[in-house]
Structure 1
Amino acid sequence: MELNSIKDAFDRVTKKQKLSCSKSQEVIDQIRQEIENAIDKVQSANDPGSQLDYKSVLAQLKDTLHNMAPLSQLEGTQKELNVAVSKYVKLLEKSLNPDISKAYRNIDFDSHMLNQIIASHFYRQGLFDVGDHFIRETGETESAAAMKSPFLEMYQIIEAMDSQDLGPALNWAANNSDKLSESGSHLMLKLHTMQFVKILQDGNRDEALMYARTHLAPFASSHMADFQKLMACLLWAGKLDSSPYNALLSPANWDSLAEEFKRQFCNLLGQSHDSPLSVTVAAGGQVLPPLLKFMNVMAGKKQVESMNHLPVPVELDREFQFHSIFVCPVSKDESTEDNPPMLLSCGHVLCKQSITKMSKNSTKIFKCPYCPTDIDAGQCRQLYF
């Protein structure tokens, strides 16, 4: 999508609109001035001894307005505005309503797998009724329970957290404490901290101290600063909102804790925090404009259908980059185990197959395509990402 061209077209429409408005106001002011002058003359024609006749005044006004040709003046600027608007609408239709089927390649889909992905998306978004209805419509009932059950549990715990009830979350974290520790998660500490603050805000200092000794003390050695801060909060039992630690009572802390719980829950399920379907759609929407532009350029060329790799790079935002890849700048192929990236003696990097072709199977010296250095293929070293 050429956003710059859309902006330029919008600026032209805005400029024409301001010009048309200014010209219209100018013509209206002229007409009003002439009418006011004619009214003054008619009123003075009634004075004794006046030589003016109101009929002649009206005739003169008519001639003046006819010579001004206000409609002709307005039509000129309005026509220019209409042309600019028409071009802008066509540009929007072309840019914002493209034929996205051009970027589609006929491939075989596993409908069973696709249905599971869609159903799983509904369940992980908490849309259980929608997911159930989708499962019934597609007939994927066998795997429905396995997909739905864990997310149903997750949302029941999150719903309790929304009501500031940490009991279910603490029970889940306790049952999965070993796995959480292995993944380096601090969810258990965060849950106990929030529960401690909640007890303290209710004014139960002794209960809060007992809770800290039982549940927070094991974390003291590895999180001393946080532990000391919580112990200082004991001095403000029942009035934590007016203490230097009132930030602990922010509603945003509950939202952050629920999000962290959701992240860790999905992690233990072996799934990403974000729905794979959402990520796919978002990434697809980002690369669709350059893909459409490429397909428009390559329209009618038969080799497009047989291409295994795009001849042009398609950039994705950092959030969609999950692992390192290398694309050979010569062949445009992604590196693989059989075609790894190789470091040349000059510091540039090419894929192994490109080096093999350029060196005639390592039998001759070749020049680096990006600098004039002579390269011995035997001195190239494989890179590991």
Structure 2
Amino acid sequence: MELDKIQDAFDRVHKKQKLSSSKTQELVDQIGLEIEQAMTKIQSTENISCSDPKSILVDLKAKLNEIAPMNQLEVLQKDLNVTLGKYVRLLEKNFIPDISKAHRNVDFDVRIVNQIIASHFYRQGLFDLGDCFIREANEPEASALKSPFLDMYKILEAMRCRNLEPALSWASKQSEWLMQNGSNLELKLHQLQFVEILQNGSKRQVAINYAKKYLAPFASAHKVEIPKLMGCLLWPGRLHESPYADFMSPNHWEKLAEEFIQQFCSHLGHSYQSPLSVTIGAGVQGLPTLLKLESVMARKQEWQAMKQLPVPVDLGSEFQFHSIFVCPVLREQASDENPPMLMPCGHVLSKQSIAKLSKNNTRAFKCPYCPLEASSNQCRQLHF
């Protein structure tokens, strides 16, 4: 799909539409001006004696005929229609309206799919829509997915109002888990709270007491951040004038909200991104290849019965996940005893597959996916 060409064609349509609209408005204004001038002449008591209203109207008609508004509008509309027609044809060429051709009869667990959809609505904050979907899908058990995301959005709403107490309470309860997960979320929340105390004009001693209670436990592990925060104590109520004004940047709040969502979802056992969004995004990227493949298949039955695609479907790096490896030859999940092995050609098979192909590591073998040969001692174990 040539997106650049489509964008250029759209820009031409947009430019032509703006030009047509501008010219049309100028034409309307010109006609209105001629009519107003004629009416002024007719209503003028000074000119009524020496001017015949009929002659004024005849002059007006002549001027309007000279302007020829209908002809000008037709030309403008014709130019716009030509440009728009080219854009429509380009869209029809690059976008296949019937994407159902790429559909394959795959068995899905309907309940799991419904839970994924409901979870997507809840994690987006669309609680009414999620409740409606659960009712219509008759999946009352999925309502349990709602409660934690309600809590998450309550905390986020408080953060938008510069109230960090709910977020600090959550981080305090999950302090040990956050540390094990390598997250500094709790410290960052306390940093923002410390800055808010100073900037709101509170007495310096209030900020010092807060630092002793909540920041001191992080001092040994964060020997750069904590001293910088202590420097803020010299500028209570006027941090915006200090060398530490960056601490007041709204970006800190935005980034911290994103990090909070990430850690909150991770604690629930959910990915940061919605599985439904990721699936649809990957599907959009892979759809052109699937549609082209389906169009060249000799028989529809082959397409439906196919267990593995004969061509690779290239997706962006954001859709490459390697936490679990399944050997494409043996179709078994990797384990400590049967780890994934990287061959010199760049393809990956399980250790047992390589052993079988190499007759227990006694001879070279050809990669199942490319014509290159390899030996077992050239293969290296991958660690995910």
Q: CA deviation at 1:98?
A: 3.2
Residue type matched to 1:161 in 2? M
Q: CA deviation at 1:300?
A: 3.2
Q: CA deviation at 1:350?
A: 6.7
- State whether residues 122 and 145 of structure 2, in contact with CA within 8 Å, keep that contact through their aligned partners in structure 1: yes
In the alignment, structure 1 residue 159 sits paired with structure 2 residue 162: no
- State whether residues 339 and 382 of structure 2, in contact with CA within 8 Å, keep that contact through their aligned partners in structure 1: no
Q: Matched residues in 2 for 1:365 and 1:112: separation?
A: 47
Q: Matched residues in 1 for 2:172 and 2:348: separation?
A: 50
Q: Matched residues in 1 for 2:240 and 2:272: separation?
A: 33
Considering only aligned residues, what root-mean-square deviation do their CA atoms show, in Å?
A: 3.8
Residue type matched to 1:199 in 2? I
Q: Matched residues in 2 for 1:296 and 1:198: separation?
A: 61
Q: CA deviation at 1:86?
A: 5.1
- State whether residues 155 and 166 of structure 2, in contact with CA within 8 Å, keep that contact through their aligned partners in structure 1: yes
Q: CA deviation at 1:341?
A: 4.0
Q: Matched residues in 2 for 1:277 and 1:326: separation?
A: 21
Output one character per residue of 1:293-333: Cα deviation in whole Å (capped at 9) or x when no partner: 222222536433222211111111121112178899xx999
- State whether residues 340 and 351 of structure 1, in contact with CA within 8 Å, keep that contact through their aligned partners in structure 2: yes
- State whether residues 343 and 383 of structure 1, in contact with CA within 8 Å, keep that contact through their aligned partners in structure 2: no
Q: Matched residues in 2 for 1:333 and 1:100: separation?
A: 32
> Which residue matches 2:197?
199
> Which residue matches 2:256?
257
1:363 and 1:301, CA in 2 relative to 1: closer, same or farther beyond 3 A? farther
Q: Secondary structure of 2:224's partner?
A: helix
Q: Secondary structure of 1:237's partner?
A: coil
> Which residue matches 1:90?
89
Q: Matched residues in 2 for 1:139 and 1:256: separation?
A: 38
Q: Which has the larger radius of gyration?
A: 1
Aligned pairs, number: 317
Output one character per residue of 1:201-235: Cα deviation in whole Å (capped at 9) or x when no partner: 01221111110111001111111110010001111
Q: Secondary structure of 1:293's partner?
A: helix
Q: Matched residues in 2 for 1:335 and 1:342: separation?
A: 16
1:236 and 1:299, CA in 2 relative to 1: closer, same or farther beyond 3 A? farther
> Which residue matches 2:25?
none
Q: CA deviation at 1:91?
A: 3.4
Q: CA deviation at 1:131?
A: 0.9
* Structure 1 gap ranges (5+): 18-74
Q: CA deviation at 1:84?
A: 8.5
1:311 and 1:168, CA in 2 relative to 1: closer, same or farther beyond 3 A? same
1:215 and 1:332, CA in 2 relative to 1: closer, same or farther beyond 3 A? same
1:102 and 1:378, CA in 2 relative to 1: closer, same or farther beyond 3 A? same
* Structure 2 gap ranges (5+): 17-74
Q: Secondary structure of 1:126's partner?
A: coil
1:83 and 1:129, CA in 2 relative to 1: closer, same or farther beyond 3 A? closer
1:84 and 1:175, CA in 2 relative to 1: closer, same or farther beyond 3 A? closer
1:234 and 1:285, CA in 2 relative to 1: closer, same or farther beyond 3 A? same
Q: Matched residues in 2 for 1:378 and 1:254: separation?
A: 52
Map 1:10-159 → 2, pairs under 5 A: 10=9, 89-144=88-143, 146-159=144-157
> Which residue matches 1:289?
288
Residue type matched to 1:273 in 2? Y
Q: Matched residues in 2 for 1:116 and 1:268: separation?
A: 18
- State whether residues 2 and 94 of structure 2, in contact with CA within 8 Å, keep that contact through their aligned partners in structure 1: yes
- State whether residues 335 and 341 of structure 1, in contact with CA within 8 Å, keep that contact through their aligned partners in structure 2: no
1:333 and 1:294, CA in 2 relative to 1: closer, same or farther beyond 3 A? farther
Q: Matched residues in 1 for 2:107 and 2:152: separation?
A: 34
Q: Secondary structure of 1:224's partner?
A: coil
Map 1:356-375 → 2, pairs under 5 A: none
> Which residue matches 1:309?
308
